[in-house]
Amino acid sequence: MEDLNQFVPNVHFEKIPIKNLVSNQKYQRNLSQSHIARAAANFDLYQINPVKVSRRDGVNYVFNGQHTIEIVALVSGSRDTPVWCMIYEELVYEHEADIFANQQKFVKPLSPYEVFLANLEAGNDDQLIIRDLVESYGLVVGTKKAPGVICAVSTLEQIYQKYGYHTLNRVLRLCIGTWEGDVNSFSANMLNGLSKLISVFGDQLNDEIFKEKVGAVSVKQLVRTAKERHAGSMGFAEAMLIEYNGKKKNPAQRLSLNKLHARESSIFSGLEDTSAQDEDWNDDTENADDEF
């Protein structure tokens, strides 16, 4: 009979104080203090993974989990705090480095949609509110571009978390009222571009004028104009603003492109990365080594 133990790593588990762990091997990446601070601020005991340790010559070398131990040390306020460690006794330095280099090679990251579904199953408020809002307009959050489907789930979450329920509601209402459900009107860049306009101009942006002026232009034309103007969602915001302003000769009636750009650095940080993530997901259909 086949020995199935050959498929089980030869390890054992120990609780080891952080002060007795070494994680300064040359093959490891530099510690990210911003990641450590962010994870510590959102500390969840149930998200801690065991630290992988190679015990060589009586020294406990961490080859996976260096951020984890720093996060726990920061939260607990002590390097005497123990962490669960998976101990390998027979590795050499080169093997540790090889494991570190290839540990994510065949790992399939969770998609934004899969994370969204898991949050729904967990009953988390943000995702439940977003789903209910989307469905109130007769739409659904999904993975395949189709009529009535929004694939840009990370963008929906980002707009809601950054600007709140009412801004996301207005973004969806304007998208539907302007382009009558065109599947391309729900792209990440379109949603983010519209959220920029709403955030900057507020009530100065007249919804009825927007639907009339911007709705007279196809989404495909807006996409072409956006690519000529600026990368990412800012190009879409500019393209929509140009159509909204039309040929108004009175400066008092025009919404300023300069104002749009003046506010970008302070209130739009983070949206572009989400757009890229969602756009990549739409075209197809992060895992840190110790993302605690």
Res 191 pLDDT > 80: yes
The strand pair at 149-150 and 59-64 is best described as: unpaired
Looking at residues 229-237, what average pLDDT do you find?
Answer: 89
Segments in 5-111 forming alpha helices (H):
33-41, 66-76, 93-102
Residues 6+ apart with CB under 8 A from 260: 196, 197, 200, 234, 237, 238, 241
pLDDT of residue 280: 44
pLDDT tens for residues 263-280?
654 554 544 445 555 654
Domain 4-102 belongs to what topology?
3.90.1530
Residue ranges of domains in the chain: 4-102, 112-284
List, for residues 16-72, the tens digit of each pLDDT value: 999 999 988 888 888 999 999 999 999 999 999 999 999 999 999 999 999 999 999
Whether the predicted pLDDT of 79 surpasses 70? yes
Termini Cα distance of the chain: 39
Name which of 111-115, 118-122, 127-131, 282-286 the model is least confident about.
282-286
Query: What mean pLDDT is predicted for residues 240-248?
Result: 88
Separation CA 60–CA 2 (nearest Å): 33
CA distances in angstroms from 20 to 15, 91, 264, 289, listed in the order given: 11, 18, 46, 20
Cα gap 256→148, rounded to integer Å? 33
Q: What is the mean pLDDT of residues 129-133?
A: 98
Pull the structure tokens for residue 242.
């140009």
| Bridge partners for 60 per DSSP | 55
21 phi and psi, to 5 degrees? -110, 140
Kind and range of the H or E run holding 16: strand 11-17
Of residues 23 and 166, more confidence is placed in: 166
Kindly state the tokens that stand for 52.
């992988």
Strand 51-56 relative to strand 82-88: parallel, antiparallel, unpaired? parallel
Mean pLDDT of 72-92: 96
